[in-house]
Amino acid sequence: MIHFSKSVVTLLMVLVGTSATLVGYESIDYATALNLTADYCYARSYEEVPSIVQRCEYIVLVDFEVPAGETLELNLQKNSVLLFEGTIKFAVAYWDGPLIHITGNNIQVIGGTKHLIHGQGEFYWDGQGGSGGVKKPEKVFSVNVNGGIFKNINIKNCPTACVKIYGNDLTFSGFNIDLNDGFKNKLAKHTDAMTFSHSNNIVIENSKIVNQDDCVNVICSSNAVIRNVHCWGSHGLTISSGLSTSDRNNDVQNITYEDCSIGGSLSGIHFKTHPAGGHGTVDQVTYRNIEIKDVTRHGIEIQQDYPNNDGHPSNNIKINNLNLINVTGTVKGKTTRGVRISCGSGSCTNWKWSDVKITGAHKKDDCNFHPDGYSC
Ligand SMILES: *[C@@H]1O[C@H](CO)[C@@H](O)[C@H](O)[C@H]1NC(C)=O
Ligand SMILES: *[C@@H]1O[C@H](CO)[C@@H](O)[C@H](O)[C@H]1NC(C)=O
Ligand SMILES: *[C@@H]1O[C@H](CO)[C@@H](O)[C@H](O)[C@H]1NC(C)=O
């Protein structure tokens, strides 16, 4: 182990900072992170966490259970490096959560190869998700951070939603979210995997997600890239708007999904805008190189009649410049459609689609707006 002094480490962080990528410093892997300093503080029980988080910038959390009804609060100091090792579990309690809440500036959060954040969803799932049954923690991993890299994080069995993000200049890389157990008797519901809202400059990449609701969901955010994310189960690679009655909380701007796949899901690409919300604009959304496999409802659904699906779309949200490039795949089942587009009157403009092809549908495409480059 190289024993860097604190000042050398600070210098290293500054030097690394000059070869800036997204957030002004390079993402590092677990082993490199451990070698940064000999001064890591190890928390091996929940009780040790608060004082360590106050005292240390280099922290390892190892193998403990968070007591029932408590949040693992990680209000990290600026430039902190936090590592996860072993299994972090949460004793079961029927409450709102969150199970983990992370705040900070310019932080790095990195998982060791065998670590696991275990939400113990199997003790909550009752087929009703967030709309009934036992009360379930609403988030496993709640992030409220400006400047940060989250790398190689393994999460299992979220009671409902997994990761919810608010913040700026954040990269999430190498997430492995595994809710395979939730398919049993269709008990897991509302298990949205990665959602960000009111966020700017976000990257989600190189991740594998198995869940039962939206795989990635973008709400009121700008300048984001979701790439090389592979989803199974799930509801879609999603954009949502109209959730807020306040107009400026409905805008979505410059979001790209690329080199992603989604299979066994209800939808592949899903836009949902809520007629009951305020006004807003969704602008410059691009899906490029997307593979859709065995989707069970709509390969691509852009709907302005969510959640009623009643064929009465509203134009409170404008959807401009929606580009689909090389989106291909299959749907499978009796009620499937390749493409459904349900736009409000005059609310969809300038969509360019190329190389879009979904096969295997039982019903014809259903479109009340026609993108350039795609006939439906
Ligand atoms: C960490 O430090 C040890 C001891 O100096 C060294 O053997 C190892 O290669 C280093 N690992 C990394 C990833 O830097
Ligand atoms: C869109 O967002 C990406 C990712 O943050 C950024 O690199 C790009 O410059 C943005 N484009 C525009 C036109 O703002
Ligand atoms: C189209 O997307 C697929 C992934 O679905 C990818 O393998 C292929 O290389 C892409 N084609 C082009 C021309 O980029």
> Per-residue pLDDT tens for 85-118?
999 999 999 999 999 999 999 999 999 989 999 9
Q: Given 213, 251, 283, 305, which residue is catalytic?
A: 213
Q: How far is the CA of 375 from the centre of ligand 2 (A)?
A: 29
Phi-psi region of 174 (alpha: psi -120 to 50; beta: other; left: phi over 0): left
Is the Cβ atom of 254 under 6 angstroms away from ligand 2? yes
pLDDT at 28: 83
* In the chain, ranges of CATH 2.160.20.10 domains: 1-203, 213-376
Is the Cβ atom of 284 under 6 angstroms away from ligand 3? no
Residue nearest to atom 5 of ligand 2 (CA): 223
For the 213-376 domain, the top CATH level (class) is mainly beta
In the chain (376 residues long), the average pLDDT of successive 10-residue segments reads 38 34 63 88 98 97 98 97 97 98 97 96 98 97 98 98 98 98 98 98 98 98 98 98 94 98 98 96 98 98 96 97 98 96 98 98 97 96
d(CA 175, CA 27): 14
pLDDT at 25: 64
| 34 CA closest ligand 1 atom index | 1
Q: Given 115, 118, 235, 298, which residue is catalytic?
A: 235
Residue nearest to atom 12 of ligand 1 (CA): 32
pLDDT at 20: 30
pLDDT at 102: 98
d(CA 93, CA 70): 9
- Is 362 designated active site? no
Query: Is the separation of the CB atoms in 231 and 261 below 8 Å?
Result: yes
Q: How far is the CA of 65 from the centre of ligand 1 (A)?
A: 30
Q: How far is the CA of 35 from the centre of ligand 1 (A)?
A: 6
Closest CA to 61 of 41, 79, 75, 77: 41
pLDDT at 23: 40
- Is 213 designated active site? yes
Query: Is the separation of the CB atoms in 232 and 207 below 8 Å?
Result: no
Q: How far is the CA of 366 from the centre of ligand 3 (A)?
A: 25
Which of 200, 227, 254, 286 for mutating ligand 2's site (highest number of atoms within 8 Å of CB)? 254
Superfamily of domain 1-203: Single-stranded right-handed beta-helix, Pectin lyase-like (2.160.20.10)
